[in-house]
Amino acid sequence: MYVSHPTAAAVAGENPPREQKTAEQKAWDLAATVCDPEIPVLTIEDLGILRGVKVTKEPDTADGGMVPAVQVTITPTYSGCPAMDAIRDDLTTAFNNAGYPRVDVELVLSPAWTTDWMSESGKAKLQQYGIAPPSGHSAAARHAGPIRLSLAVKCPQCSSLNTKELTRFGSTSCKALYVCQDCKEPFDYFKVL
Amino acid sequence: MSTPETTETAALAEETAGHGDISVGVAGSSNSGEATASATRITPGNALRPEDIALAVSRGTAKPSEDAAELALRLGDDALILAQRLGHWISRAPELEEDIALGNIALDQLGHARSFLSYAGGLDGRSEDDLAYFRREHEFRSVELFEQPNGDFAVTIARQFVVSYYQFELYRRLAQSTDATLAGIAAKAVKEVDYHRDHSAQWVLRLAHGTEESRTRMIHGFKVIWPYVDELFRDDELTARLSESGVAVQPSSLRADFDRLTGEVLAEAELDVPQVPAAPGGGRRGFHSEHLGYLLAEMQVLAREFPGASW
């Protein structure tokens, strides 16, 4: 049995009802406690980085019994995202501490990550943290010339729409740097991808 | 891994079998101790290694065909060499924001290179590090454009502009490849390259419509870079076979879209397409300009001096 990301299957609603938690769902919930090291208010589930969790039983070499083995699938936001190593370590630690001695974290590139997978609660948390969440939906890569019109990005400090992009490439692969023309504060914007 | 957990090692041994049995030997070193030594591990003992990168959702990526591996090597080398060139701008760009932008673009390119090279190495059991650090100049398959020196900022922007528009057309089509792994890498890369395209196009306009000085330099930048454009779109026996099997389209078929879209930006910048003779360009066969050797010397020195080092 393989639990995939709720957005991957066409599941309506943010959280499908889970009265009876299967071993898989428990493992998913545990994986979902791990945060992105670069955006500590967001879990990898909020970001849509967590793609799948699978639990199997494997023979224990020590005493011949069976121990649970977990296989977690994650996907990078950007191809060169350096947070992946830290996330992998954190997942391994979280599962080891919860009594899963065997953890296998696998990176998948397909389907390619998109900001559309970010949960609504994740966007709200970003806003509170001072990072403007991605606005609008990702268009599949355009096939026109450069379009130099940008949608207004709302300042997470004062909610003004009077903001300006300082640089498209910011502190991490996934963010751009903006400045608010009203409250004068700089802020990060999570780029639509 | 320098501190392997036994359980993990067992699990990995089982897993790597599905990845074309990748075992990484550090070239020329008989006492690397650990079959998975890597020269670029950030977190010793537990970093993601090429064999952890399953590019298909199904477990155990299939080994690439010889032709697909050769294509992955070409595209991986292009991205790797460019990442190394762009990295040089960090702390040297005209403004802090541009330092960060070129560094970010380099990081994206390096990500693409790692994926392509990991896949290419799956054919004969070499790791991304083996391919990046322990091949000699004539074994690199990148075209000459990517190794061209940075020059001034306008030359770098001209090179990036050409590269981004080319890569965008290339990856857009490669995302439809019959090779699932190449399709996966390309589908991811094309979205990132779209940002690179926009960034370089904006700089072309800014420099061309800026001051007398910036315009002169932008024109010069394109003149320096344009001889290397032709080589990007040259077909050969490999690309013919790949297009037969639906793995990749012929490079020549990307030319029309590339010309049209770059032409639109150049027209808006009121620049002419440079009329310069094409460079001979033998990069796909391992014949490179004099610039690549110096770049490799710098890029490879640490891994060759301390094989298996990690930090």
pLDDT digits (tens, 9 = 90+) for A102-120: 999 988 888 889 988 999 9
Task: Indicate yes or no: CB of A113 within 8 angstroms of CB of B54.
Answer: no
pLDDT surpasses 70 at B258: yes
B108 vs A61, A73, A80: nearest CB: A80
Give the angle A50-A54-A55 at the CA atoms, nearest 5°: 135
Strands of chain A, DSSP E: 3-4, 35-36, 39-43, 50-59, 66-74, 102-107, 131-132, 163-167, 175-180, 186-190
Q: What is the pLDDT of residue A1?
A: 47
Supply A7's token pair: 């957005």
Q: What is the mean pLDDT of residues B111-129?
A: 90
Q: How many CB pairs under 8 A join A and B?
A: 133
**Contact across the interface for A61 and B109, Cβ inside 8 Å:** no
pLDDT at B30 over 50: no
Distance from the Cα of B271 to chain A's closest Cα (Å) equals: 16
The span from the CA of B45 to the CA of A92, in Å, is 12
Per DSSP, the three-state class of B75 is helix
Closest-CA distance, B57 to chain A, in angstroms, reads 6
Bond from prior residue into B44 cis (ω within 30 degrees of 0): no
The answer to whether the CB of B135 falls within 8 A of the CB of B142 is: no
The one-letter code for the residue type at B9 is T
CA distance A147 to A15: 37
Residue A161 touches chain B, beta carbons under 8 Å: no
Q: Which of A56, A71, A93, A169 to mutate to test the interface with B (most CBs of B within 10 A)?
A: A169
Task: Decide if B230 touches A, using CB distance below 8 A.
Answer: no
Assess contact for A160 and A181: CB atoms under 8 A. Answer: yes
Q: Does residue B9 have a pLDDT over 50? A: no
Indicate the pairing of strand A102-107 with strand A39-43.
unpaired
**Residue B115 is nearest to which of A69, A73, A109, comparing CB atoms?**
A109
Q: How far apart are CA B273 and CA A133, in angstroms?
A: 40
Chain centroid to Cα B120, Å, comes to: 13
Give the strand pairing for A3-4 and A50-59. Answer: antiparallel
Q: Which residue of A has its CA nearest to B262?
A: A145
Residues 74-93 of A with CB under 8 A from B: 76, 78-82, 84-86, 88-89, 92
> Among partner residues B48, B112, B194, which is closest to A79 by beta-carbon distance?
B112
Closest CA to B113 of B301, B309, B241, B299: B299
State the Cα–Cα distance between residues B52 and A103, nearest whole angstrom.
12
Alpha-carbon gap, residue B239 to B235, rounded angstroms: 6
Find tokens 């791990």 and name the residue.
A34
pLDDT of residue A20: 65
Please report, rounded to a whole number, the percentage of residues in chain A having pLDDT higher than 90.
46
Which A residues 100-119 touch B at CB under 8 Å? 101-114
CB contacts under 8 A, A 35-74 vs B, are 61, 69, 73
- The residue that leads in pLDDT, B270 or A61, is B270
| Length of chain B as a residue count | 311
Please list every residue in chain B whose beta carbon sits closer than 8 Å to the beta carbon of residue A111: 187
Mean pLDDT of B270-281: 94
pLDDT tens for A16-37 read: 555 567 888 999 999 999 999 9
Q: How far is residue A131 CA from its own chain's centroid?
A: 14
Which residue in chain B has the smallest CA separation from A174? B104
Does the pLDDT of residue A62 top 60, yes or no? yes
Tokens representing residue B79 in the block: 């991205």
pLDDT band at A145 (very low <50, low <70, confident <90, very high): very low
Torsions phi, psi for B160 (to 5 deg): -65, -35
Query: Could you tell me if A169 lies within 8 Å of chain B, comparing CB atoms?
Result: yes
**Model pTM?**
0.79
What residue in A sits closest to B15 (Cα-Cα)?
A: A104
SS3 label, residue A127: helix
Q: Which of A85, A109, A143 sits opposite B43 (nearest CB)?
A: A85
In whole angstroms, what is the distance from residue B192 CA to residue A168 CA?
Answer: 12
Strand pairing category for A175-180 and A163-167? antiparallel
Helix axes B255-268, B153-174, angle to 10 degrees: 140
Which of B104, B172, B199 to mutate against chain A (most A CBs within 10 Å)?
B104
What pLDDT is stored for residue B223 in this prediction?
A: 98
Q: Please, which pLDDT band fits residue B25 given cuts at 50, 70 and 90?
A: very low
The one-letter code for the residue type at B282 is G
What's the rounded Cα separation, in Å, for the pair A89 and A35? 11
Task: Label the pairing between strands A175-180 and A186-190.
Answer: antiparallel
Token pair 């590269």: residue: B163
Rg (CA), chain A: 19
Q: Which ranges constitute the DSSP H helices of B18-95? A: 66-87
Query: With contacts defined as CB-CB under 8 Å, which chain B residues touch A53?
Result: none
- pLDDT for B35 beyond 80: no
Tell me the one-letter amino acid at A71.
Q
What is the band of B63 on the pLDDT scale with cuts at 50, 70, 90? confident
- SS3 for B111? helix
By C-alpha distance, which of B32, B34, B31, B29 is closest to B45? B34
Spatial separation of the C-alpha atoms in residues B111 and B185, rounded to whole Å: 10
How do residues A166-191 score in pLDDT, each as one tens digit? 888 888 888 999 999 999 999 999 98
- Nearest to residue B177, comparing CAs of B110, B246, B125? B246
Residue with tokens 């870079």: B225
Q: Do A141 and B105 touch (CB under 8 A)?
A: no
A99 bridge partner residues: none
